[in-house]
Chains A and B, each alone.
Chain A
Amino acid sequence: MNKTTSAKSRRHSGTFVERTLTGLVRKTERALFAEEIARADGLLQRLDPRVKIVGLLSLVVTVTLSRNLFTILSVFALGVILAVLSKVPVRELALRIWLSALFFTGAIAVPVLFITAGEPLLRIPLIGWTITAQGLTSALYLTSRVEATATLSILLVLCTSWSSVLKGLRVLHVPVVFVVILGMTYRYIFVILETARDMFEARRSRLVGRLDGRERRHIAAGSIGVLLTKSFYLHHEVFLAMQSRGFRGEVYVLDEFAMHSRDWLALAGFAVLVGAAVWLGRQESLQTLLNLS
Chain B
Amino acid sequence: MELAATKYAFELADVTYRYDEITALDGLSLQIESGRRIAVLGANGSGKSTLLRLLDGLYFPDKGTIKSFGEPLTEEAMQDEEFAFAFRRRVALVFQNPDVQLFNPTVFDEVAFGPLQLRWEKSDIRRRIDETLESLEISHLKDRSPHRLSGGEKKRVALASVLILEPEVLLMDEPTAALDPKSRGHVIDFLADRSNAARTVITATHDLDIIEDIADHCLVFENGRLAADGTPSAILADHDLLERTNLIHAHRHRHPDGSFHTHPHAHRFHEHDHEHK
Interface residues of A, Cβ cutoff 8 Å to B: 32, 35, 161-163, 166, 183-184, 186-188, 190-191, 234, 237-238, 240-248, 252-254, 256
Q: Quick one: closest B residue to A243, CB to CB?
A: B58
Q: Which of A166, A184, A254 has the most CB of B within 10 A?
A: A254
- Contacts A161-B143, A191-B99, A256-B108; A244 near B93 (Cβ below 8 A): yes
Q: Quick one: closest A residue to B161, CB to CB?
A: A245
Interface residues of B, Cβ cutoff 8 Å to A: 53, 56, 58, 81, 84-85, 88, 92-93, 95, 97, 99-106, 108-109, 112-114, 116-119, 122, 125-126, 143, 145-148, 161-162, 165
Q: Are A187 and B105 in contact (CB under 8 A)?
A: yes
Out of A162, A245, A248, A256, which one reaches B114, CB within 8 Å? A245
Measured between alpha carbons, how far is A244 from B88 in the docked complex, in Å?
Answer: 7
- Contacts A183-B105, A244-B58; A237 near B88 (Cβ below 8 A): no
Q: Quick one: closest B residue to A186, CB to CB?
A: B105
- Contacts A248-B81, A252-B117; A237 near B147 (Cβ below 8 A): no
Q: Are A187 and B112 in contact (CB under 8 A)?
A: no
Q: Which residues does chain A contribute within 8 Å of B143, judged by CB atoms? A: 161, 163
- Contacts A246-B84, A256-B108; A238 near B103 (Cβ below 8 A): yes
Q: Are B103 and A187 in contact (CB under 8 A)?
A: yes
Q: Which residues does chain B contribute within 8 Å of A32, judged by CB atoms? A: 148
Q: Are A187 and B145 in contact (CB under 8 A)?
A: yes
Q: Which residues does chain B contribute within 8 Å of A234, judged by CB atoms? A: 99-100
Q: Which residues does chain B contribute within 8 Å of A238, judged by CB atoms? A: 100, 103
Shortest C-beta distance, A59 to chain B (Å), equals 26
Interface CB pairs A-B, < 8 A, 24: A35-B148, A161-B106, A161-B143, A163-B145, A166-B105, A183-B104, A183-B105, A184-B103, A187-B103, A187-B104, A187-B147, A191-B99, A240-B53, A240-B95, A241-B95, A241-B100, A243-B58, A245-B113, A246-B88, A247-B113, A247-B117, A252-B119, A253-B116, A254-B116
Q: Which residues does chain A contribute within 8 Å of B147, judged by CB atoms? A: 187, 190-191
Q: Which residues does chain A contribute within 8 Å of B101, judged by CB atoms? A: 241
Interface of chain B: mostly helix, strand, loop or mixed: helix
Known contacts A237-B95, A256-B126, then 18 further A-B pairs from the complex at CB < 8 Å, ordered by chain A residue: A35-B148, A163-B145, A184-B103, A186-B105, A187-B103, A191-B147, A234-B99, A237-B97, A238-B103, A241-B95, A241-B103, A242-B103, A244-B162, A246-B114, A246-B118, A247-B113, A254-B112, A254-B126
Measured between alpha carbons, how far is A241 from B161 in the docked complex, in Å?
Answer: 11
Q: Which residues does chain B contribute within 8 Å of A163, judged by CB atoms? A: 105-106, 109, 143, 145
Q: Which residues does chain B contribute within 8 Å of A188, judged by CB atoms? A: 103
- Contacts A237-B97, A246-B88; A254 near B145 (Cβ below 8 A): no
Measured between alpha carbons, how far is A11 from B101 in the docked complex, in Å?
Answer: 38
Q: Quick one: closest A residue to B81, CB to CB?
A: A248
Measured between alpha carbons, how far is A261 from B88 in the docked complex, in Å?
Answer: 41
Measured between alpha carbons, how far is A244 from B171 in the docked complex, in Å?
Answer: 11
Measured between alpha carbons, how far is A242 from B126 in the docked complex, in Å?
Answer: 20
Q: Which residues does chain B contribute within 8 Å of A162, judged by CB atoms? A: 105, 145
Q: Quick one: closest B residue to A193, CB to CB?
A: B147
- Contacts A183-B104, A187-B103; A246 near B85 (Cβ below 8 A): yes
Q: Which residues does chain B contribute within 8 Å of A244, judged by CB atoms? A: 56, 58, 88, 92-93, 95, 162
Measured between alpha carbons, how far is A245 from B158 in the docked complex, in Å?
Answer: 11
Q: Which residues does chain A contribute within 8 Å of B108, judged by CB atoms? A: 256
Q: Which residues does chain B contribute within 8 Å of A187, judged by CB atoms? A: 102-105, 145-147
Query: What 6 A-B pairs have minimum CB-CB distances, sorted nearest first?
Result: A246-B117, A163-B105, A245-B114, A252-B116, A190-B147, A237-B100
Out of A183, A186, A240, which one reaches B58, CB within 8 Å? A240
Q: Quick one: closest A residue to B102, CB to CB?
A: A187
Measured between alpha carbons, how far is A224 from B41 in the docked complex, in Å?
Answer: 35
Measured between alpha carbons, how far is A163 from B143 in the docked complex, in Å?
Answer: 9
Measured between alpha carbons, how far is A241 from B125 in the docked complex, in Å?
Answer: 20
Measured between alpha carbons, how far is A81 from B99 in the docked complex, in Å?
Answer: 40
Measured between alpha carbons, how far is A242 from B161 in the docked complex, in Å?
Answer: 11
Q: Quick one: closest B residue to A39, CB to CB?
A: B143
Q: Quick one: closest A residue to B88, CB to CB?
A: A246
- Contacts A163-B105, A163-B106, A240-B58; A245 near B162 (Cβ below 8 A): yes
Q: Are A35 and B145 in contact (CB under 8 A)?
A: yes
